Amino acid sequence: MTSLNTEQPLVSVIIASYNHGPYIEASIGSVLAQTYGNVELLVVDDGSTDDSVERIRRLQQQHGFDFLVQKNQGLSRTLNDSIARARGDLIVSFGSDDVMLPERLALQVAYMQGKPEVGICAGNIEEIDARGVSRGAPRKLALRRLDFEDVFLNRKPGAPAPTLMFRREALEKVGGFDPQIRLEDLYIQLKITRAGYFVDILAEVLALYRVHGTNTYKNYRFMVDNVLKTYAAFSDHPAYAEVCARFRNSMLLKCARTDRQLAVELLRQIPAKYWGSKTLKGLWRILEGSVKAR
């Protein structure tokens, strides 16, 4: 699907689909329902084993958007290949289980006009469950601008992945996504802000983030491995050790009750000088779990 309106910048929306059969139609439908008039939609199925391809094909036959089926290559490589085929100056990578609100693209394009320093524009989200029911009112967050230090040191509320809009120029300047890092959103924000661009996050809710059983953030081992790999790409930063320790402390607290092996690994990796309340709470949860297991 491509609009013929050439007065507005072309936005290329890329949906990389992988085993999200129950959600993919809502995701694609939300792009097709955008009020913005100049959109190119590219959908790539990255080796799904469910009925995603059949569902997408039905929609593609009706609406005529670009659709490609491929063997599994991973999200970062799929995004790089899709960006190379896309024609827009503005690029949106959108989850095959999430939903855009109708005004999303229009608001972001209008905001980015005349702001070449903004490499990424984002917005706020509302969480929904697997059935599409709201999980509660979204957080009220004001418009904010993030530079590299803000993102690396986590000094301000971050940019939700379902709302990211990239300036193509910024993506090309940093060489796109790294296929070796599978948690692509944090890595690309750090790369783009280190290159001198800003991430501006609008106050408006732009997307519905679907919380379900297979969300990436629930895979603690995956999160630990890929976030630490991401931070390692910026190990020359003076706060690198502290940032890694802070992240390990946070993940230790999250996984201490559900993945004791990972929690113990994280605990051993945290230097004593970075121990704090989270470390002690995590340790207590590990010990608590050990007692209950006897």
Give all domains of the chain, ordered by start, each with its CATH number.
11-210 (3.90.550.10), 238-293 (no CATH)
Helices 260-269 and 220-232: angle between axes, nearest 10 degrees = 20
pLDDT tens digits, 202-221: 999 999 999 987 666 668 99
The SS3 of residue 97 is coil
DSSP secondary structure, 113-146, as one string: TT-TTEEEEEEEEEEE-TTS-B-SPPP----EEE
Question: At which residue do the structure tokens 């929609």 appear?
Answer: 59
pTM of the entire predicted model: 0.92
pLDDT at 291 over 90: no
pLDDT at 4: 46
Q: Which helix (H) or strand (E) holds 17?
A: strand 11-17
Q: Which of 6-15, 27-36, 48-57, 209-218 has the lowest mean pLDDT?
A: 209-218
Nearest-angstrom CA–CA distance, 2 and 86: 11
Q: Please, which residues have CB within 8 angstroms of residue 98's CB and are 6 or more apart in sequence?
A: 23, 27, 162, 207, 208, 209, 210
Helices (H) and strands (E) in the chain, counts: 11, 9
Give bridge partners of residue 44 from the DSSP assignment.
16, 68
Q: Of 122, 154, 128, 114, which is closest to residue 141 (Cα–Cα)?
A: 122
| Rounded CA separation 242/238 (Å) | 9
Q: Are 79 and 54 in contact (CB under 8 A)?
A: no
Grade residue 5 by pLDDT with cuts at 50, 70 and 90. Answer: very low
Instruction: Note the pLDDT of residue 288.
Output: 85
Mean pLDDT of the chain: 93
Contacts 24+ apart (CB under 8 A), 192-196: 192/119, 192/120, 192/166, 193/119, 193/146, 193/147, 193/148, 193/150, 193/151, 194/148, 194/234, 195/119, 195/170, 196/117
Distance CA 292, CA 287 (A): 9
pLDDT tens digits, residue range 88-106?
999 999 999 999 999 999 9
- Residue percentage of the chain with pLDDT more than 90: 89
pLDDT at 217: 61
